[in-house]
């Protein structure tokens, strides 16, 4: 019998596969592409992914090591999934192992956990008798037991592992409750694929009446034959989510084993999407809908991933990492808010989840729906070229809901007329906030800058508080009485006086959400003000709790960053105020105007969604700017056409394709020298004749954590020429020395 060898991808920067031999017939029988293996690598034993099985190896026999063991509990990943990972590795210029292994849950990459990872799940759930009797049966001071009982009451079931995390003696307690008839125990085999059964007594959900445009969109998606990319362009509040729900329901009903993937840009949007999908698909088993995102605990993420991989999960809802989840029966993909920059990974494998979703749909021959009120210009251009089918929802779904009125507050005019303002809040905005408070309606104030103030400065000598590790100013966080760097995390106490001249009158410059929250308390007395940003939502579940308060009507004025700008259906918000939007008008980033328009249109769309007249007030010093005029008319089409014409004239994406080489060194000179050598190496590459290389330049924030950073941009009108250049360039770059790190990013968003 011929000896069997496996070629294994490892999470390693070298873009190569590593050969290992199967030492026993049992191992040879288990060796199939897509299997997970434990192998020796140097002095460590690591998890790898089998990509090829062969009876020949070019590696000398004395150098070949044997496979430790195969992961028999996890079925092999499919051929389609391996092809997706291979495409991502090739396109984004990374090793196959750097793509495939990080896409798996951490628990799968730990051999010590393989034996218990897919053990049968023990699930406890309350019986009707327990729901009635248990609250009164517990002692008043038994807070831990009450927490356990509450966890049971709040969910369909409680896993044994989660119960142990709540109380060290949870399992004996649950056994006692089971003997009393208060709790039932189900044991679910992890590898089983239960049918989607009707939930007990689950009523059929009442379906809203579709508009003609919604009905046409659902029909187009449902009837798609093979690969069909749709751009669902719907104004805010037009019912894009309802289109997703109806189309997925039809597709899943037509194919009993089919799976659907729904991507959202941010974790804080998943709870409301999950609630909507569970309510609509109540007839499915509770395990048929799972979420995948970085906010899940390791065990929970592993269980959800395995439910998708085994086919138990019919609908997978997740952030960008979910695009690489294993879904063997994937039949439709939805990318909500497809324009959002959050779909682009900025560390490690710098991939675009939206673009990979489109490739995956093409690979499998299934429809993909890209939804947005403000599509990315790349997607809009593809629709203009006829490559995507554009579906339009031009009006709001609620019969009496109309788009909000957008008004510009001219801050220069306010100043000239000597009108009163309240710490950055203009008189018209304060008056509008007070009027909404009197009517019992909610308001939203948007400022995309967290903290109390972006700078702390001394008027006497001009000193500004800066980070000792970065070339950036530190942000004042007043409630914590701290100065904090948002780039490296360095933190210090607020000084009592200027460290340069001793002046005690140091003061904050500019405004963040904390300062606006403070100003609103005095400008609108009696209002219940709530702030939602990255600082107020650090604890797990805190964002969901805060948004629940807003939906429950316990908040009068919500102030926050981009976290509140998109996707949320605030039924009682009738006013949106926008602060400090002008800074993006003069950014060096050519995408800044596109992002600002999308951001402002998205946050404007939070007003007037349930029939209340909506109003948006934007404070600006440039009320004649074309972007604001397009926004006031809700004219995305006009804005997109004008901006695409500018991009075409300037030879910018989507009319050219770009890649960015970044270098990090101990000095800026070292980083720039590396990039200059890299540019010189391009002359050796034939395909580079069709590529333009720009000069190496420092990044805007040139130093982070004492490391200096610079970048080199290359671009081409031919994607094929750019890719060929990058493939030939990589080996040459590995031969260069002099920097700490370098990375290559394809299709960069931040330049």
User: Strand pairing partners for 263?
Assistant: 318, 335
Q: How far apart are CA 117 and CA 108, in angstroms?
A: 8
Please choose, from the candidates 109, 5, 111, the residue with its C-alpha nearest in 3D space to the C-alpha of residue 57: 5
Q: How far apart are CA 743 and CA 735, in angstroms?
A: 14
Distances (CA, A) of 665 to 12, 704, 714: 22, 11, 20
What are the two backbone dihedrals, phi and then psi, of residue 121, each rounded to the nearest 5 degrees? -90, 130
Give the three-state DSSP class for 456: strand
Please choose, from the candidates 346, 314, 307, 349, the residue with its C-alpha nearest in 3D space to the C-alpha of residue 329: 314
Say which residue the tokens 């289109």 belong to.
243
**Residue 421 burial (CB < 10 Å; 0-12/13-18/19+)?**
middle
Give the three-state DSSP class for 724: helix
> What is the H or E stretch that residue 133 is in?
helix 128-137
- State the pairing for strand pair 330-336/367-372: parallel
Please choose, from the candidates 613, 595, 520, the residue with its C-alpha nearest in 3D space to the C-alpha of residue 560: 520
Known binding-site residues equal: 458, 461, 467, 470, 485, 488, 498, 501
Q: How far apart are CA 391 and CA 129, in angstroms?
A: 50
CB 694 within 8 A of CB 660: no
CB 173 within 8 A of CB 145: yes
Give the three-state DSSP class for 589: coil
What are the two backbone dihedrals, phi and then psi, of residue 216, each rounded to the nearest 5 degrees? -65, -40
- Strands in 579-621 per DSSP E: 615-620
Provide the terminal-to-terminal Cα distance of the chain, rounded to the nearest Å: 56
CB 254 within 8 A of CB 275: no
Q: Which residues contact 260 (CB under 8 A, 6 or more apart)?
A: 248, 251, 252, 314, 315, 316, 330, 331, 332, 333, 334
Known binding-site residues for Zn(2+) equal: 458, 461, 467, 470, 485, 488, 498, 501
User: 10 Å Cβ neighbour count for 3?
Assistant: 14
CB 297 within 8 A of CB 309: no
Say which residue the tokens 């070949």 belong to.
64
Q: How far apart are CA 332 and CA 366, in angstroms?
A: 6
Biggest alpha carbon–alpha carbon distance for the chain:
93
> What is the H or E stretch that residue 253 is in?
helix 240-254
Q: How far apart are CA 717 and CA 725, in angstroms?
A: 13
CA dihedral (504, 506, 507, 512) in degrees, to 10, reads: -120
- Let me know how many helices (H) and strands (E) the chain has, helices first: 23, 34
Q: Could you say which DSSP state residue 451 is in?
A: S
> What is the H or E stretch that residue 392 is in?
strand 389-393
Distances (CA, A) of 740 to 377, 662, 704, 709, 736: 35, 11, 13, 10, 11
Q: Which residues contact 363 (CB under 8 A, 6 or more apart)?
A: 80, 83, 84, 87
CB 280 within 8 A of CB 245: yes
Please choose, from the candidates 723, 728, 668, 658, the residue with its C-alpha nearest in 3D space to the C-alpha of residue 693: 658
């Amino acid at each position: 019998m011929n000896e069997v060898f496996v070629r294994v991808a490892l999470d390693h920067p070298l873009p190569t596969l590593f050969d290992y031999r199967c030492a026993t017939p049992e191992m040879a029988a288990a060796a199939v592409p897509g299997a997970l293996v434990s192998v020796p690598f140097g002095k460590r034993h690591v998890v790898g992914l089998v990509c090829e099985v062969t009876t020949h190896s070019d590696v000398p026999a004395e150098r070949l090591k044997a496979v430790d063991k195969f992961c028999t509990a996890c079925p092999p990943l499919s051929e389609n999934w391996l092809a997706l990972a291979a495409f991502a590795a090739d396109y984004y210029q990374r090793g196959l192992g750097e793509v495939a292994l990080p896409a798996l849950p951490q628990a799968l990459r730990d051999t010590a956990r393989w034996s218990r990872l897919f053990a049968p799940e023990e699930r406890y759930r309350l019986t009707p008798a327990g729901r009635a009797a248990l609250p009164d049966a517990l002692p008043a001071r038994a807070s831990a037991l009450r927490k356990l009982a509450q966890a049971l009451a709040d969910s369909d079931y409680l896993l044994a592992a989660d119960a142990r995390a709540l109380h060290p003696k949870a399992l004996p307690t649950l056994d006692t409750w089971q003997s009393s008839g208060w709790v039932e125990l189900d044991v679910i085999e992890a590898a089983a694929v239960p049918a989607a059964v009707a939930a007990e007594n689950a009523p059929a959900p009442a379906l809203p009446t579709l508009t003609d445009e919604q009905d046409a969109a659902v029909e187009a998606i449902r009837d798609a034959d093979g690969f069909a990319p749709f751009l669902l362009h719907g104004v805010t509040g037009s019912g894009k989510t309802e289109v997703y729900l109806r189309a997925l329901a039809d597709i899943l009903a037509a194919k009993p084993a089919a799976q659907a993937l729904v991507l959202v840009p941010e974790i804080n949007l998943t709870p409301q999407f999950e609630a909507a999908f569970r309510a609509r698909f109540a007839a499915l088993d509770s395990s048929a809908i799972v979420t995948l995102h970085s906010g899940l605990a390791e065990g929970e993420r592993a269980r959800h991933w395995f439910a998708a991989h085994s086919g138990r999960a019919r609908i997978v809802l997740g952030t960008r990492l979910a695009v690489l989840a294993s879904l063997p029966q994937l039949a439709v993909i939805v990318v909500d808010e497809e324009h959002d920059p959050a779909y682009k990974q900025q560390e490690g494998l710098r991939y675009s989840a939206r673009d990979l979703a489109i490739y995956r749909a093409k690979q499998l021959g299934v429809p993909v729906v890209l939804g947005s009120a403000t599509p990315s210009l790349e997607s809009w251009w593809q629709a203009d070229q006829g490559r995507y089918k554009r579906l339009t929802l031009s009006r709001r779904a609620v019969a009496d809901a109309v788009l909000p009125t957008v008004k510009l507050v001219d801050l220069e005019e306010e100043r000239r007329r000597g009108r009163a303002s309240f710490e950055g809040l203009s008189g018209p905005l304060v008056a509008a906030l007070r009027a909404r408070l009197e009517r019992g309606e909610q308001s939203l104030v948007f400022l995309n800058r967290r903290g109390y103030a972006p700078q702390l400065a001394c008027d006497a000598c001009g000193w500004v508080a800066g980070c000792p590790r970065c070339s950036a100013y530190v942000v004042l966080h007043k409630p914590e009485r701290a100065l904090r760097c948002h780039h490296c995390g360095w933190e210090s106490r607020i000084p009592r006086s200027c460290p340069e001249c001793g002046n005690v009158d140091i003061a904050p410059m500019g405004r963040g959400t904390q300062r606006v929250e403070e100003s609103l308390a005095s400008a609108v007395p009696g209002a219940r003000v709530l702030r939602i940003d990255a600082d107020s939502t650090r604890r797990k579940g805190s964002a969901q709790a805060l948004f629940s308060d807003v939906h429950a009507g316990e908040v009068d004025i919500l102030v926050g960053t981009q976290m509140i700008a998109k996707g949320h259906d605030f039924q009682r918000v009738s006013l949106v105020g926008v602060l400090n939007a002008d800074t993006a008008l003069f950014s060096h980033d050519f995408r800044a105007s596109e992002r600002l328009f999308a951001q402002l249109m998205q946050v404007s769309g939070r007003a007037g969604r349930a029939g209340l007249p909506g109003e948006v007030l934007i404070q600006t010093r440039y009320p004649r700017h074309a972007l604001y005029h397009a926004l006031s008319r809700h004219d995305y089409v006009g804005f997109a056409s004008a901006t695409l014409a500018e991009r075409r004239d300037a030879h910018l994406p989507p009319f050219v394709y770009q890649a960015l080489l970044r270098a990090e060194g101990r000095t800026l000179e070292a980083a720039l020298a590396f990039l200059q050598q890299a540019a010189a190496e391009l002359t050796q590459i034939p395909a580079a004749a069709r590529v333009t290389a720009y000069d190496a330049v420092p990044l805007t924030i040139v130093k982070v954590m004492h490391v200096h950073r610079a970048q080199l941009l290359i671009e081409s009108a031919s994607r094929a020429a750019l890719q060929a250049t990058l493939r030939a360039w990589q080996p040459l770059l590995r031969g260069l020395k002099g920097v700490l790190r370098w990375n290559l990013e394809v299709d960069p968003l931040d330049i």
